[in-house]
């Protein structure tokens, strides 16, 4: 029974007796929308219930409630019942055949991506939602498996076109047989509105998460940053971090945030001295069976002596050293793999393999011992010294003293502490090593070193009753020593260890309650980037406070499985993950497209997408390994970025296509700036998911030039109130960033034809043309030396009264300003002073050069008089 004053209950009572338009119908074995069959051969144990018959109460803001309830007749819930209760139940929802779909499925425990098809049998295991094209009524229908009670659900492929739904608790002690609302369905004539409406309805129903619109995002969202991972892996230490930040500052692009990734924590292995850190870790994978043995920084950070890097005698750093350590560690890793393969093939004499392994280990240990950092104090290495002048607190203070613009310093940690959790008996927390058990639903996922290692070592799980204490103990200390946020990784390990704790839903609720509480207390409510979290458990249970997260797999600079072309095709795969995942994840969190390396072979390809993704831009460059010319196309000198106003999403004509290996589709993503729209066209062809091999692999026959079209209608102008009017313009100027062309376009114009080379792109800025008077047409494009030219325009004013017509523009950044003008201005002014300009009669290109004005935060006042 809903509370007496509940707005949902009030609305329901008003609607009683009213006849609403009936969108969905389940009868005679068919599930239909407005008379169009979606699923046939629906089992008799499947039910459909209107939204209002299931949803009874919510704490959502009243405007959100009103918005959802106004459209509640467009959605409803699917359920099913079984004769026998179980902890894992599979049931058909009916047969899907001959209808195009777009879906998102988990290809690893932690990561999801897109898949298209036209039959229920084409679905992949662990599908998180499926979007159906219903051209008969010019609409779209989405089916979203959700949470009911202690069960979560996912869609799976069935035989003969059937769509299967799997409901599971994650514990043999938690069983059920009847579900009234295990999946939500919704219909809309706009696929982007559909996502918004559907997840808003689920938010009202479940009441366990909040939408992105209800939260604030971290400060770093419109800034440039650096992550230490690819620069150091686990060898990260204060001297390297310091010189890394200094590299950027000297290159003219100071980071506004730094993420100290994995490698800073106090971890060790079972069987090692419980009070000492594991020594000489380098590569990711070697640390995945280790556990936290204390909740503060490891010895190499604890020994940092304040001020040691500020003076004239600060120690130098050899940027080759991390690379040499990584290279040697790779040799060791390969030797161990060769030994294991030999053993698996039946070789009994492994002495030669073991000899090489011992040799490489000795060489690696010698390399570590050859250089003792001179920024540390031996008197603070083995104690718990928390003196002001030592450790992480002293280091973060020194960083901020030297690098004035450094707003945020984040550190990495796994959801359970470290990859292997917390070591029992090492802290005040009640911890137990829990063996890992994978859901059968993950049988269809890709082989993953992280999963292998975590299963090997189990998880040192802090009892869920202590989750609040656990996170607050870690985070309150970090906040005290100058850390402003955390990147929380390895989130979906909880589903492996839920057997004894009421199942995966209940365990997740306890842990996310603790994380939410700590985030609100210690990191201003939003200082967190979620990662390895791309599963519906997290989004439905973990995003009450979390407002930012990764939408793609990790940036891979090369194929870990050895395909030499992977250095190219993996980058397109990354963009596809990010673009399509943003369709649903952006309802909960600010999409984060992850870091990349500016000196990578495909760095420009990545940079083009980051420029218009609508989120932060950050790199993981090695010390000394930068392309500053490229970075400066993304980043202002003050470390901020010309960020788009929305998050990038695939265009409508890409939704039911496969831009990875259909040999015909270019990925197009759209976004807005304050005074225009932008389309990014990317040739991502060349790789993709192979259902038979259950892995992402290269398709070399697809890695070739692709042709397509771009039109102003590709931008979904109605998705942001401020942009809607721009979508009604009679004429646009289109600027092609890579070819530096200007094209005039009207809504009735033919689409722009484009051919994109492999691993290449083009950015199209669409700017409404304003008639300053009947003979003068004008449109500002922005700084053309930046990828997102339109993002550099801060303010725009047209003054049409009086004899002289004026256009006043505030532009941030330095470089080449470009506008379209049908006639030449009489005069131009820069910051109040008259300056020369160039106008080309053939193209209408109007240009002048802008300086960076430090006193105004890099903003220039530009005016043209006609």
What is the tens place of the pLDDT at every residue in 172-217? Answer: 999 999 999 999 999 999 999 999 999 999 999 999 999 999 999 9
| pLDDT at residue 380 greater than cutoff 60 | no
* Predicted local distance difference test score (pLDDT) of residue 370: 65
* Measured distance CA(436)–CA(248) in Å, rounded: 42
Q: Is the pLDDT of residue 383 over 50?
A: no
Distance from C-alpha of 78 to C-alpha of 155, rounded to nearest angstrom? 12
Mean pLDDT of the chain, nearest integer: 94
* pLDDT confidence of residue 369: 84
Mean predicted confidence (pLDDT) in 670-692: 97
Q: Is the pLDDT of residue 19 over 50?
A: no
| Gap between the Cα atoms of 68 and 73, Å rounded | 10
> 127-134 and 147-148: which strand pairing?
unpaired
Counting residues of the chain whose pLDDT is more than 70, the rounded percentage is 96
Q: What is the pLDDT of residue 631?
A: 98
Please enumerate in sequence order all residues whose Cβ is within 8 A of that of 655, keeping only pairs 6 or more positions apart, or say none. 102, 131, 133, 191
pLDDT for residue 794 is more than 90: yes
Region 606-623: mean pLDDT is 98
pTM: 0.95
The token duo for 592 is 């984060």
pLDDT, tens digit, 9 for 90 and up, residues 234-244: 999 999 999 99
pLDDT classification of 372: cutoffs 50, 70, 90: low
Q: 127 has which bridge partners?
A: 105, 155
What is residue 276's predicted lDDT score, i.e. its pLDDT? 96
Q: Is 744 exposed, middle or buried (0-12, 13-18, 19+ CB in 10 A)?
A: middle
Mean pLDDT of 320-342: 93
Q: For residue 624, which of 234, 246, 256, 225 has the smallest C-alpha distance?
A: 246
pLDDT at 18: 42
User: Residue 56 has what pLDDT?
Assistant: 75
Starting from the edge strand earliest in sequence, which strands make up the sheet with 859-865, in order? Answer: 793-799, 806-812, 859-865, 827-830, 833-835
Residue pair 391/385 in contact by the 8 Å Cβ criterion:
yes
With 50 as the cut, is the pLDDT of residue 1 above it? Answer: no
What lies within 8 Å, CB to CB, of 846 at 6+ separation is: 818, 819, 820, 821, 824, 825, 837, 838, 839, 840, 864
- Residue 313: per-residue pLDDT: 87
Which pLDDT value is given to residue 386? 52
CA distance 664 to 704: 10
pLDDT, residue 7, reads 46
| Of 695, 708, 598, nearest in space to 662 by CA | 708
Q: Hey, CA dihedral for 465, 469, 471, 472, is it positive or negative?
A: positive
The pLDDT score that the predictor gives to residue 374 is 57
Give 449-496 pLDDT, tens digit per residue: 999 999 999 999 999 999 999 999 999 999 999 999 999 999 999 999
* 385 vs 265 pLDDT, higher one: 265
Q: Does position 154 have pLDDT exceeding 70, yes or no?
A: yes
Q: How confident is the model at residue 17 (pLDDT cuts 50, 70, 90)?
A: very low
Supply the pLDDT for residue 803.
85
C-alpha of 434 from chain center: 29
Compute the average pLDDT of residues 141-159.
Answer: 98
Confidence bin at 388 (pLDDT 50/70/90): confident
8 Å CB contact between 713 and 605: no
Q: Which residue has the higher pLDDT, 388 or 792?
A: 792
């Amino acid at each position: 029974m809903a509370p007496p004053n509940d707005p949902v209950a009030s609305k329901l009572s008003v609607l009683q007796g009213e006849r609403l338009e009936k969108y969905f119908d389940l009868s005679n074995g068919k599930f239909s929308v407005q008379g169009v069959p979606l699923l046939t051969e629906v089992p008799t144990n499947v039910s459909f219930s209107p939204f209002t018959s299931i949803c009874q109460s919510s704490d959502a803001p009243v405007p959100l409630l009103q918005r959802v309830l106004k459209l509640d007749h467009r959605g409803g819930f699917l359920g099913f019942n079984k004769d026998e209760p179980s902890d894992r139940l599979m049931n058909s929802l009916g047969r899907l055949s001959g209808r195009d779909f777009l879906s998102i499925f988990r290809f690893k425990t932690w990561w999801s991506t897109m898949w298209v098809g036209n039959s229920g049998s084409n679905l992949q295991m662990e599908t998180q939602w499926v979007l159906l094209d219903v051209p008969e009524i010019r609409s779209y229908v989405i089916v979203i498996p959700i949470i009911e009670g202690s069960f979560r659900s996912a869609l799976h492929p069935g035989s003969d076109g059937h769509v299967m739904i799997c409901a599971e608790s994650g514990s043999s002690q938690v069983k059920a047989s009847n579900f009234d609302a295990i999946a939500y369905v919704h219909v809309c004539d706009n696929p982007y509105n559909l996502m918004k409406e559907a997840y808003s309805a689920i938010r009202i129903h479940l009441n366990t998460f909040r939408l992105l619109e209800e939260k604030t995002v971290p400060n770093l969202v419109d800034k440039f940053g650096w992550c230490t991972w690819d620069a150091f892996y686990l060898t990260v230490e204060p001297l390297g971090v310091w010189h890394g930040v200094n590299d950027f500052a000297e290159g003219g692009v100071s980071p506004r945030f730094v993420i100290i990734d994995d490698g800073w924590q106090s971890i060790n292995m079972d069987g090692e001295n419980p009070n000492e850190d594991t020594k000489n870790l380098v590569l990711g994978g070697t640390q995945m069976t280790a556990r936290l043995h204390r909740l503060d920084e490891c010895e190499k950070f604890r020994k940092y002596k304040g001020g040691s890097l500020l003076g004239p005698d600060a120690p130098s750093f050899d940027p080759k050293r991390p690379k040499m350590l990584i290279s040697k560690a790779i040799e060791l890793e390969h030797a161990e793999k060769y030994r294991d393969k030999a053993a698996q093939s039946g070789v009994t004499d492994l002495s030669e393999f073991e000899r090489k392994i011992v040799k490489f280990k000795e060489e690696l240990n010698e390399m570590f011992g050859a250089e003792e950092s001179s920024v540390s104090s031996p008197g603070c290495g083995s104690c718990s010294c928390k003196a002001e002048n030592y450790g992480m607190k002293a280091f973060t203070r020194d960083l901020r003293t030297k690098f004035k613009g450094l707003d945020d310093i984040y550190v990495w940690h796994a959801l359970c502490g470290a990859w292997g959790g917390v070591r029992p008996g090492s802290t005040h927390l009640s911890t137990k090593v829990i063996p890992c058990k994978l859901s059968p639903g993950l049988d269809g996922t890709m082989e993953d070193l992280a999963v292998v290692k975590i299963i090997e070592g189990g998880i040192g799980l802090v009892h869920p009753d202590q989750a609040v204490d656990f996170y607050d103990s870690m985070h309150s200390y970090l906040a005290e020593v100058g850390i402003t946020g955390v990147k929380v990784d390895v989130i979906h390990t909880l589903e492996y260890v839920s057997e004894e704790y009421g199942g995966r839903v209940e365990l997740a609720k306890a842990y996310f309650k603790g994380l939410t509480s700590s985030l609100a207390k210690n990191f201003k409510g939003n200082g967190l980037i979620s990662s390895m979290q791309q599963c519906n458990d997290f989004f439905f249970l973990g995003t009450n406070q979390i407002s930012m997260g990764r939408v793609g797999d990790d940036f891979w600079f090369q194929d870990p499985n050895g395909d030499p072309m992977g250095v190219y095709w993996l980058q397109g795969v990354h963009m596809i993950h990010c673009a399509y995942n943003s369709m649903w994840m952006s309802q909960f969190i600010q999409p984060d497209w992850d870091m990349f390396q500016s000196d990578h072979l495909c760095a420009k390809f990545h940079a083009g997408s980051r420029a218009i993704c609508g989120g932060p831009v950050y790199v993981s460059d090695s010390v000394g390994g930068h392309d500053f010319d490229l970075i400066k196309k993304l980043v202002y000198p003050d470390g901020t970025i010309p960020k788009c106003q929305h998050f990038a999403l695939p265009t409508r004509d890409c939704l039911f296509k496969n831009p990875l290996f259909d040999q015909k589709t270019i990925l197009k993503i759209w976004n807005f700036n304050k005074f225009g729209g932008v389309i990014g066209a990317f040739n991502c062809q060349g790789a993709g998911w192979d259902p038979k091999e259950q892995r992402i692999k290269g398709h070399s026959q697809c890695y070739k030039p692709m042709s397509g079209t771009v039109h102003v209608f590709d931008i979904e102008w109605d998705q942001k109130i401020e942009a809607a009017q721009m979508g009604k313009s009679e004429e646009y100027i289109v600027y092609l960033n890579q070819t530096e062309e200007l094209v005039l376009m009207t809504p009735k114009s033919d689409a722009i034809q484009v051919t994109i080379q492999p691993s290449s792109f083009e950015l199209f800025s669409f700017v409404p043309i304003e008639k300053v008077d009947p003979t003068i047409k004008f449109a500002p494009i922005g700084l053309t030396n930046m990828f997102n030219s339109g993002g550099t325009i801060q303010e725009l004013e047209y003054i049409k009264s009086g004899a002289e017509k004026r256009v006043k523009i505030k532009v941030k950044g330095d470089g080449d300003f470009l506008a379209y003008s049908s006639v030449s201005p009489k005069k131009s002014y820069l910051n109040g002073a008259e300056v020369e300009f160039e106008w080309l009669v053939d193209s209408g290109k109007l240009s002048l050069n802008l300086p960076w004005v430090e006193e105004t935060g890099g903003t220039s006042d530009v005016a043209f008089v006609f």
